[in-house]
């Protein structure tokens, strides 16, 4: 199968990648900080489902076709960029619309009540968002194409080895997500204040939109 030293090297590589602040971190932290714990775990599961899909497709050689085809790669790149800019822009626009309306009410029937523990706090909704964010990022596929084959021995079953490596990546990412959600839970009371929420949403929206613009510009 895969030698232990190669497995540790891969774990170190993807561990450092996971710890690097980026789109996934911003998305999980923002969702959990607003008290949407079910949705936050849905986002985590969606992102890691996408990671597993990339691992399987890379093991089967499908993602190599994606990176080899300029049209396929560009189509996915622009779709991902448009999705991220739309998602980030929607967050930024919502902060301006909520600047007056987002106030706590004695009956708990205001906008904060609807977004705190209501319809937004769904596991499935978070899973869809996390899955789409991951799968519409062609750089994730390019990373797996560049890295995964180096750790799969020629005589090993590629699918099983690829799933094992993706599983290591997923395990480390879930551990990091647990730390992020725990941190968000500690800071939840402060971050759920209307002013703090607006700042958090503006930062997260800017980060997500910036990733989309970088993806569109091919950086």
CB burial of residue 39 (10 Å; 0-12, 13-18, 19+): buried
20 φ/ψ angles, rounded to the nearest 5 degrees: -70, 125
Length of the chain in terms of residues written = 219
Rg from Cα positions in the chain: 19
- The pTM of this model reads 0.77
Q: What is the DSSP letter of 71?
A: H
Alpha-carbon span 23 to 29, nearest angstrom: 10
Q: What is the pLDDT of residue 1?
A: 66
The residue that leads in pLDDT, 153 or 1, is 153
Shortest CA distance to 61 belongs to which of 132, 133, 148, 138? 148
Instruction: Point out the least confidently predicted range of 2-6, 21-25, 40-44, 71-75.
Output: 71-75
Average pLDDT over residues 205-215: 83
**Angle (nearest 5°) at CA 46 between 177 and 144:** 85
Structure confidence by residue, pLDDT tens digits, 122-151: 899 999 999 998 998 887 888 888 888 888
Q: Would you say the C-alpha torsion 35, 191, 185, 13 has a positive or negative sign?
A: positive
Cα–Cα dist 159/127, whole Å: 24
Q: Give the pLDDT score at 72.
A: 76
How far does Cα 148 stand from its chain's mean position?
20
C-alpha distances in Å from residue 43, one per residue of 60, 106, 206: 26, 31, 19
Give 154's pLDDT tier (boundaries 50, 70, 90).
confident
Q: What is the pLDDT of residues 165-201, one digit of tens each?
A: 999 999 999 999 999 999 888 887 777 677 777 887 8
pLDDT at 141: 81
When pLDDT is averaged across residues 150-163 and rounded to a whole number, the result is 87
The mean pLDDT of the chain is 81
Q: Quick one: how far is CA 61 from the chain centroid?
A: 24
Q: What is the spatial distance between Cα 81 and Cα 43, in angstroms, rounded to a whole number? A: 19
Percent of the chain with pLDDT over 90: 26
Whether 184 and 103 have beta carbons less than 8 Å apart is answered as: no
Q: Which residue has the higher pLDDT, 42 or 84?
A: 42
* pLDDT mean over 19-24: 84
Q: pLDDT category, 158, cuts 50, 70, 90?
A: confident
pLDDT at 98: 62
């Amino acid at each position: 199968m895969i030698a232990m030293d190669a497995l540790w090297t891969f774990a170190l590589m993807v561990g450092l990648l996971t710890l690097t602040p980026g789109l996934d971190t911003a998305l999980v932290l923002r969702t959990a900080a607003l008290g949407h714990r079910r949705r936050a775990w849905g986002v985590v599961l969606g992102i890691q489902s996408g990671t597993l899909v990339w691992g399987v497709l890379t093991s089967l050689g499908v993602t190599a076709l994606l990176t080899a085809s300029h049209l396929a790669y560009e189509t996915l790149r622009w779709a991902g960029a448009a999705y991220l800019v739309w998602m980030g822009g929607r967050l930024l626009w919502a902060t301006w619309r909520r600047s007056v309306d987002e106030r706590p009410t004695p009956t708990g029937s205001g906008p904060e009540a609807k977004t705190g523990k209501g319809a937004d706090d769904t596991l499935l909704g978070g899973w869809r968002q996390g899955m789409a964010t991951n799968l519409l990022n062609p750089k994730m596929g390019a990373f797996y194409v560049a890295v995964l084959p180096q750790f799969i021995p020629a005589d090993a079953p590629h699918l099983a080895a690829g799933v094992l490596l993706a599983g290591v990546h997923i395990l480390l990412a879930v551990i990091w997500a647990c730390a992020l959600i725990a941190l968000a839970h500690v800071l939840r009371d402060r971050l759920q204040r209307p002013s703090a929420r607006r700042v958090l949403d503006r930062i997260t929206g800017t980060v997500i939109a910036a990733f989309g613009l970088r993806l569109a510009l091919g950086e």
